[in-house]
């Protein structure tokens, strides 16, 4: 699958290397709004062909798929255009600004007969499969509560889109995508939520929420740009809990791992290998069914919408995702 890349931001550099090193995938062209910026980034990433403007990529016969690495406010527009042009879509997270836009992307891809994924790589790690295995095998017992937290303390350079509300900035859409998604992966269909946010200059800097699922399962999630770096989760059952201290992206200096704590106080450590990003790219390039990932993305987007509504209304909000 030959990819055209839309955007030259920080996130682009990270994933382009994985696109270039995944069997069956390659990058044929890189696009930026500025020709000089595109050429410079192409040289840095080893991409021979670069263009100014994103539209040229959509009409390129040597492009099979588009990686949308733009600010969230541009995701829906360019993902929908790519689908209409017959290109498969790999879109950075959050998938869109809201659930309605996310549904529009899904509908456009279905109409265009193309495959799509949101670039939430941790869902594709062998470790995540193992965590689900602990849950589904009954080793944890009946699931009772999920906790997830992710934060970075003011990690931005000047002009970063994550500090610009008009571009879809704020921690709720950025890293709340991970914490809400973690709860949904374990808990299933989210039903109701109560959320609070702290806003600075129109940008959500901290968000906390409680989510209710079926079968008396609950979750608490937190994300922020004003606390030290953390990315941990716990899925707690009646018999045991599985805990991960870097679920969204493994720490660079240690192997991906989880711990299972049982009710007798015994702890088992499990380590894993593999690249979640290359797994994700290979999944898009394959013929495998992607509908489960689509449901996950749409449920996550709807949950973030409901957290935002609850933060304004001060009441529990229904999550409308099914």
What is the distance between the alpha carbons of residues 257 and 244, in angstroms, rounded to a whole number?
A: 7
- Average pLDDT of the residues in 128-150: 98
Q: Is residue 129 pLDDT above 90, yes or no? A: yes
List the domains of the chain with CATH numbers.
Answer: 2-119 (3.40.50.720), 125-318 (3.30.360.10)
The pLDDT, as a whole number, for residue 274 is 93
- Average pLDDT of the residues in 13-39: 94
The pLDDT, as a whole number, for residue 132 is 98
Q: Which residues contact 133 (CB under 8 A, 6 or more apart)?
A: none
Q: Is residue 159 pLDDT above 80, yes or no? A: no
Q: Is residue 257 pLDDT above 70, yes or no? A: yes
- Average pLDDT of the residues in 300-319: 98
**Which residues are bridge partners to 259 per DSSP?**
243, 269
- Average pLDDT of the residues in 51-75: 97
Q: Is residue 155 pLDDT above 70, yes or no? A: no
- Average pLDDT of the residues in 63-71: 97
The DSSP secondary-structure symbol of 319 reads: -
User: Residue 251, Cβ neighbours under 10 Å: how many?
Assistant: 12
Q: Is residue 158 pLDDT above 70, yes or no? A: no
Count H helices, E strands: the chain? 10, 15
What is the distance between the alpha carbons of residues 181 and 231, in angstroms, rounded to a whole number?
A: 13
Structure confidence at residue 262 as a pLDDT band (50, 70, 90): very high
The pLDDT, as a whole number, for residue 126 is 98
CA 293, 295, 298, 303 torsion: positive or negative?
Answer: negative
CB 112 within 8 A of CB 185: no
Looking at the chain, the whole-number percentage of residues with pLDDT higher than 70 is 99
Q: Which residues contact 266 (CB under 8 A, 6 or more apart)?
A: none
The pLDDT, as a whole number, for residue 19 is 96
Parallel, antiparallel, or unpaired for β 257-262 and 116-118? unpaired
DSSP letters for 151-186: E-SS---TT-GGG-GGGT-SHHHHTHHHHHHHHHHH
The pLDDT, as a whole number, for residue 246 is 97
The pLDDT, as a whole number, for residue 161 is 83
Structure confidence at residue 201 as a pLDDT band (50, 70, 90): confident
Average model confidence (pLDDT) across the chain:
95
Q: Is residue 9 pLDDT above 90, yes or no? A: no
The pLDDT, as a whole number, for residue 95 is 98
- Average pLDDT of the residues in 297-310: 98
Q: Is residue 166 pLDDT above 90, yes or no? A: no
Which helix (H) or strand (E) element contains residue 29? strand 26-32
The DSSP secondary-structure symbol of 197 reads: E
The catalytic residues are 93
Looking at the chain, the whole-number percentage of residues with pLDDT higher than 90 is 91
- Average pLDDT of the residues in 220-242: 97
Q: What is the pLDDT of residues 182-197, one digit of tens each?
A: 999 999 999 999 999 9
Q: What is the pLDDT of residues 73-124, one digit of tens each?
A: 999 999 999 999 999 999 999 999 999 999 999 999 999 999 999 999 999 9
Q: Is residue 157 pLDDT above 70, yes or no? A: no
Which helix (H) or strand (E) element contains residue 235? strand 230-237
Nearest to 180 by CA among 278, 57, 68, 307: 307
């Amino acid at each position: 699958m030959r990819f055209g890349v839309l955007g030259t931001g920080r996130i682009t550099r990270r994933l382009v290397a994985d696109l270039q090193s995944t069997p069956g995938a390659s990058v044929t062209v890189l696009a930026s709004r500025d020709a000089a910026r595109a050429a410079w980034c192409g040289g840095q990433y080893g991409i021979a062909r670069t263009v100014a403007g994103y539209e040229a990529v959509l009409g390129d016969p040597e492009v099979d798929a588009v990686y949308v690495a733009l600010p969230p406010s541009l995701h829906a527009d360019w993902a929908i255009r790519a689908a209409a042009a017959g290109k498969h879509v790999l879109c950075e997270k959050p998938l869109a600004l809201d659930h309605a836009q996310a549904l529009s992307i899904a509908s456009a891809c279905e109409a265009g007969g193309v495959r799509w994924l949101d670039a939430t790589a941790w869902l594709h790690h062998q470790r995540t499969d193992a965590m689900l295995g602990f849950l589904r095998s009954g080793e944890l017992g009946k699931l009772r509560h999920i906790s997830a937290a992710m934060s970075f303390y003011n990690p931005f350079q000047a002009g970063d889109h994550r500090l610009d509300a008009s571009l879809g900035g704020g921690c709720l859409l950025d890293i709340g995508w991970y914490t809400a998604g973690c709860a949904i992966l374990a808990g299933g269909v989210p039903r109701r939520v109560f959320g609070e946010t702290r806003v600075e200059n129109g940008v959500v800097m901290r968000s906390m929420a409680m989510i209710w699922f079926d079968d008396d399962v609950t979750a608490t999630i937190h994300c922020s740009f004003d606390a030290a770096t953390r990315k941990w989760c716990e899925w707690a059952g009646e018999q045991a809990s599985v805990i991960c201290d870097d679920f969204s992206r493994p720490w660079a200096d240690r192997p991906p791992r989880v711990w299972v704590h049982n009710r007798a106080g015994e702890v088992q450590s499990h380590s894993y290998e593999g690249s979640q990003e290359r797994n994700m790219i290979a999944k898009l390039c394959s013929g495998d069914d992607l509908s489960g990932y689509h449901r996950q993305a749409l449920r996550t987007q709807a949950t973030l919408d409901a957290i935002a509504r609850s933060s304004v209304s001060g009441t529990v909000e229904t999550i409308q995702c099914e």
